[in-house]
Amino acid sequence: MGFDINKIRGDFPILNREVKPGIPLVYLDSTATSQKPDIVIRAMDDYYQKNNANIHRGVHTLAEEATAMYEKAREKIARFIHARSAKEVIYTRNTTESINLVAFTWGRQNLREGDVIVLTEMEHHSNLVPWQMLATEKNLKLEFIEVNEDGSLDLEGYQNLLKLNPKLVAFTHMSNVLGTINPAKEMVRQAHAVGAITLIDGAQSVPHFSVDVQNLDADFYAFSAHKMCGPTGIGVLYGKEKLLAAMPPFLGGGDMIKKVQLRTFKPNDLPHKFEAGTPAIAEAVGFGAAVDYLSDIGMDVIARHEQEITEYALSEFAEVEHLKIFGNGTHERGGVLSFELGIVHPHDVAQILDSHGVAVRAGHHCAMPLHEKFHIPATTRASFYLYTEKKDIDRLVVGLHAVNDMFA
């Protein structure tokens, strides 16, 4: 398709909206959720109008069509992340559920009292709380790779933690606060060298640059559709087939079983073993359409655009008084800028920006420990995606100057 920012922006109906009369929307909250192109909206609408039926259970035309669409989307997603097989792609509700699935199946089955789990200080709560819950239940030890002042991980400290022979290393591929892109392949290699299983939170990586789970050699990889131009309510857990096959089911009910008797059951084959009940069928169709859309543009093209936008934003931010960006080191980073603006509370910053039509996020971004690390209660976060243009950054900077003027 190539990259034409005007054409791409035209694919997203919501970007034509005025949030107030005469004030068009500037959407800079894509790290929380992305906007949806018309092709995704139409794909889901078409499904409901033409193909709506339950899957895997009927032999009538609609049921067979719906099943084919659901499974075709799975195959598209498998190719998108370079999985060896569609069997390794498990539909979940979101990244959070994907990580919980691993914690409560693989974790319960394989971890014993005293075992060590290595995490990082930059994790989203979704990759902290499930392990905290499991650690309490099974008396496990949680250890953390520290975050340096520049927003990078302390990789020397990671080497020391690996000497504890952890059973699991779980970390984010890209921080939703700092934008830090961690050296996932090398971290996985080092974890495997000491016999650890690895889980990567890919919620912020899969939408923004090319991910090859086989090249990374990740054991588990979790991500969500809604952050990559797809619908809410559906995500994916990728897992190596050998690991998934050995894990017990997560939830019990319809579709995850092969045979049920009054006192026993036999679980279904992969991937259905982990997909209990009627799934998010329309959302899977939309997910497949989102993958097609991103693939047609090209993930490397999207990554380059976001890098250009981020560099432009960093240069323009330098002209804003009292602004401090967190994690603004020289390490590799994505299109996320979290910042303080003097003594102005981030919620006030966000509210004033909203009056200028600029949508940003304010708070701890589901990363309270990271904010505690930097001794701050909250930040304002601007995040970018393929539809972000330099004019959006200009509008943001005008709004930030207005905040400074108001609190001068």
Residues whose CB is less than 8 angstroms from the CB of residue 49 and which lie 6 or more positions away in sequence, other chains included? none
Residue 341 backbone phi and psi in degrees, to 5: -125, 85
State whether residue 148 is helix, strand or coil: coil
Q: For residue 18, what are its two tokens?
A: 């005025």
Q: Which of 63, 301, 366, 402 is catalytic?
A: 366
Query: In angstroms, rounded to a whole number, what is the distance separating the alpha carbons of residues 23 and 18?
Result: 5
Q: For residue 223, what are its two tokens?
A: 């991500």
Beta bridge partners of 144: 119
C-beta separation of 117 from 141 below 8 A: yes
Q: For residue 209, what are its two tokens?
A: 């640059």
Q: For residue 3, what are its two tokens?
A: 């990259």
Residues whose CB is less than 8 angstroms from the CB of residue 113 and which lie 6 or more positions away in sequence, other chains included? 138, 139, 140
Query: In angstroms, rounded to a whole number, what is the distance separating the alpha carbons of residues 207 and 220?
Result: 17
State whether residue 379 is helix, strand or coil: strand
Query: What is the per-residue DSSP string for 305-363?
Result: HHHHHHHHHHHHHTTSTTEEETT-SSS-B-SEEEEEETTB-HHHHHHHHHHTTEE-EEE
**Cβ–Cβ contacts within 10 Å for residue 271, how many?**
23
CA distances from 60 to 50, 257, 277, 279 (A): 14, 22, 19, 19
Q: For residue 153, what are its two tokens?
A: 């991980």
Q: Say whether 366 is catalytic.
A: yes
Query: In angstroms, rounded to a whole number, what is the distance separating the alpha carbons of residues 12 and 303?
Result: 19
Give me the active site residues, please: 366
